[in-house]
Amino acid sequence: MTLHVTNTLTGDLEPFEPQDPENVLLYYCGLTVSDPPHLGHARSWVHVDVMHRWLEHLGYDVRHVENFTDVNEKIVARVGEDDLGDSESAVARTYIDRTISDMRSLNLLRAEVYPRVSEHVPEIVDLVETLVEKDYAYESNGSVYFDVTRFEDYGKLSNQDLDEIESQGEPDERSEKRHPADFALWKAGGVDPDAVEEHRHEGVSGDPPAGLTWDSPWGEGRPGWHIECSAMSMTHLGETLDIHVGGRDLVFPHHENEIAQSEAATDAQFANYWLHCELFQMDDEKMSSSLGNFVTVSEAVDAWGTNALRTFLTAGSYNSKQLYSDETISEARERWDRLERAYDAAVDAVDSPDAATKVADTSLRTAVDDARDAFEAAMNDDFNTREAQSALLEVATAINRHLDAAAADEHDDGYDYVGLRRAVETLEEYGEILGLAFDGQTTGSAALAGDVVELVLDVREQERERGNYERADELRDELEALGVEVQDTDDGASYRLETDE
């Protein structure tokens, strides 16, 4: 089967064909580090991570680059606030540190490199100079603007007509530009104080800092937002990317402008496939830092653990809208619990003396093979994680059916070792594609909760061995009151952390 992806540039589902049959150049528009990362960021991160993992599964060497925007008026607005730092670079460093920590907690594969804007100002200046020399850009009062009328294909990504595009940039730029839709490549001076004030949090006072500036052929200034990604991606991946990924809200103007300035400078196609992650909905609005309606990544990981969170985030495909609610989180936690229980039960069975060489459960083996085919087909169909996750749940169902039949003495000779081993390997192999870890390891307070429950269950078992059954029952009742369902079996007690309401 061939991987097909939905290309925003054409609007079509297309077979994926990288420039090099062995390598994929993947760029993701990363985070502006002015706030703690939230679930909206995590959703895109996880889906890009799944793309990376699946491409590697298909045999490609993936060169994955993701930037940090560490030069921005939103960052300047946080200077001096809550011990975040006393300069633009200090605030950016604080949030980059938090962002990397959150990335690790989500079990993301590391990118090849995480370029920062502040590291690539020389490349940005060189790119702007090229555009000026080729008459695609012009200087005005120390700033440099891209002339959208000079780029014949402007609007091809967002399908907009140039005459209908509204003015871009800050109000003070209008008198400097030839066309309202022209956009800044280089801005003279420091950050506009009005822009800083717009993003300052309540209670912060004092004169707004100017932010970082650099020398350029046009005078002291700062790079424009759009030129940054072009310079960073081309520095590390070359003039033409295979896949450029970003949020749906970046199609215009950010990605449209990336195409214009990059292709004007190089005379080469900037990216062959544009993939856009749909927005994360919360109360009928997108989840965003600016709206203040967000759950941070660290809060989510602490509350639910990495596996349950990734199950939630991959329950919808990257290009479908997803709703955050207590109900959708609860459903995801139940799905992960179902997968984990089936996996643990299968491991116990396949490693037990009752796992037999000559027992063959045809329905189990067929169900696992069908699920593998379904998973492959789903992932090759535009990274359809929703259907891929459903395929893993079918494996869980097949495991439970087989074990239930064995428990009912329908398989007198024991378990189907070969079939169960195939099921375990399938959950491990394909679960890893979705970033799920069936090894008992998790992150956040969910892991700590498990350790505490195990300790209480050990104490309860000691009480039972001493004949203190009343006290043992009290411990079970206290655990269940805390949302821990305890089940006593011939092999000892097991437990389940119930989902929060």
pLDDT value at position 448? 46
Evaluate whether residue 376 is within a structural domain. Answer: no
Which distant-in-sequence residues (6+ apart) come within 8 Å of 194 by Cβ? 170
Residue 252, amino acid: F
Question: 482 falls in which pLDDT band (50, 70, 90)?
Answer: low
Evaluate whether residue 399 is within a structural domain. Answer: no
Range of the domain at 180: 4-277
pLDDT at 103 over 50: yes
pLDDT at 368 over 90: yes
Ranges 56-65, 92-101, 216-225, 407-416: which has the least confidence: 407-416
pLDDT at 286 over 70: no
Evaluate whether residue 311 is within a structural domain. Answer: no
pLDDT in tens, 379-414: 999 999 999 999 999 999 999 999 998 888 755 678
Residue located via tokens 């079509």: 12
Better pLDDT: 424 or 456? 424
pLDDT at 367 over 50: yes
pTM of the model: 0.86
Evaluate whether residue 418 is within a structural domain. Answer: no
Tell me how far apart the alpha carbons of residues 388 and 54 are, in angstroms, rounded to a whole number.
11
Last-in-domain residue among 277, 300, 326: 277
pLDDT at 290 over 60: no
pLDDT value at position 226? 96
pLDDT in tens, 243-257: 999 999 999 999 999
Evaluate whether residue 249 is within a structural domain. Answer: yes
Most confident of 319-323, 375-379, 478-482: 375-379
Give the ranges where 58-114 is alpha helix by DSSP (H).
Answer: 73-76, 88-105
Question: 449 falls in which pLDDT band (50, 70, 90)?
Answer: low
Evaluate whether residue 498 is within a structural domain. Answer: yes
Percent of the chain's residues with pLDDT above 90: 70
Pairing of strands 322-323, 355-356: unpaired
pLDDT value at position 426? 98
Ranges 27-36, 168-177, 374-383: which has the least confidence: 168-177
Last-in-domain residue among 217, 243, 277: 277
Task: Tell me the average pLDDT of the chain.
Answer: 90
Tell me how far apart the alpha carbons of residues 21 and 323 are, in angstroms, rounded to a whole number.
37
Rounding to the nearest 10 degrees, give the CA dihedral for residues 242, 246, 249, 253. Answer: -50
- Contact between 241 and 65 (Cβ < 8 Å): no
Ranges 14-18, 60-64, 168-172, 299-303: which has the least confidence: 168-172
Tell me how far apart the alpha carbons of residues 127 and 230 are, in angstroms, rounded to a whole number.
9
Evaluate whether residue 386 is within a structural domain. Answer: no
Report the candidate in 368, 341, 361 with the shortest Cα–Cα distance to residue 417: 361
pLDDT at 114 over 60: yes
Tell me how far apart the alpha carbons of residues 60 and 25 are, in angstroms, rounded to a whole number.
10
Backbone dihedral angles phi then psi of residue 197, each to the nearest 5 degrees: -60, -35
Backbone dihedral angles phi then psi of residue 17, each to the nearest 5 degrees: -135, 100
Last-in-domain residue among 210, 243, 277: 277
Evaluate whether residue 197 is within a structural domain. Answer: yes
End-to-end CA distance of the chain: 41
Better pLDDT: 240 or 487? 240
Tell me how far apart the alpha carbons of residues 180 and 486 are, in angstroms, rounded to a whole number.
66
pLDDT in tens, 147-156: 999 999 999 9
Number of domains in the chain: 2
Region of 323 (left: φ > 0; alpha: ψ -120 to 50; beta: rest) is beta
Per-residue tokens: 423: 């099921």
pLDDT at 373 over 60: yes
Per-residue tokens: 210: 């100017």
Residue 166, amino acid: E
Give the ranges where 108-181 is alpha helix by DSSP (H).
Answer: 121-133
pLDDT in tens, 207-242: 778 899 999 999 999 999 999 999 999 999 999 999
Per-residue tokens: 18: 């990288």
Better pLDDT: 468 or 23? 23
pLDDT in tens, 327-346: 999 999 999 999 999 999 99
Better pLDDT: 357 or 143? 143
Per-residue tokens: 486: 């305890």
- Contact between 250 and 159 (Cβ < 8 Å): no
Which distant-in-sequence residues (6+ apart) come within 8 Å of 23 by Cβ? 60, 61, 62, 63
Which distant-in-sequence residues (6+ apart) come within 8 Å of 439 by Cβ? none
Backbone dihedral angles phi then psi of residue 487, each to the nearest 5 degrees: -125, 125
Residue 474: HSE in the Cβ half-sphere, 13 Å Cα cutoff = 6
CATH of the domain at 11: 3.40.50.620
Per-residue tokens: 445: 């307070």
